[in-house]
Structure 1
């Protein structure tokens, strides 16, 4: 059996458990409690993807401005009262 470069062989326990080798945990920045999504591809490969943690989401949204936007019955807003929203609406 040939082992691909960068791959590791792991063993499935009698209960179906596997341990992700430290090499991969470090490369994926995995910590205890992190969640992974597992997908089975059409060609039979298992794909593990790290889901964003609450701290990841906090970092992602930290710079998003928060302001109240009032939209009238015609779907219009006042750009002077909502400058960040207006800027966002006009980004390309």
Structure 2
């Protein structure tokens, strides 16, 4: 993991707010309204990660094939009618 450190300390406001410097926001591709995930490591480091937006999720799932899979009571399905599901079932 490459660490990029700021060249000046950040101040915490009386309401607990900090401003992420512009160069960090650019590197993280952050825009107003984006959401961040926050983790506190065991050694006391605060880790911020950009969370995917709804448009990010739409792009991520756009190419996932959708097919109807009928699974019978005995757990069998027709691999010819559901080839993508069958391929997924046999992935290692």
- TM above 0.5, one fold? yes
1:89 is aligned to 2:81: no
Which stretch of the first structure deviates more once superposed, 65-74 or 46-55?
Answer: 46-55
| Structure-1 residue corresponding to 2:10 | 10
2: distance between equivalents of 1:87 and 1:46? 41
Structure 1, unpaired ranges of 5+: none
Could you list the runs of 4 or more consecutive aligned residues of structure 1 that deviate by over 4 angstroms after TM superposition?
A: none
**TM score, norm. by length of structure 2:** 0.85
Compare 66-75 and 22-31 and name the one that shifted more. Answer: 22-31
Aligned residue for 1:20? 20
Name the SS for the 1:26 alignment partner. Answer: helix
TM-score by length of 1: 0.85
1:45, distance to aligned residue in structure 2 (A) = 1.0
Q: Which runs of 5+ in 2 are unaligned?
A: none
Alignment-derived partner of residue 36 in structure 2? 36
Q: Secondary structure at the match of 1:49?
A: strand
CA-CA distance at 1:91 after TM superposition:
2.4
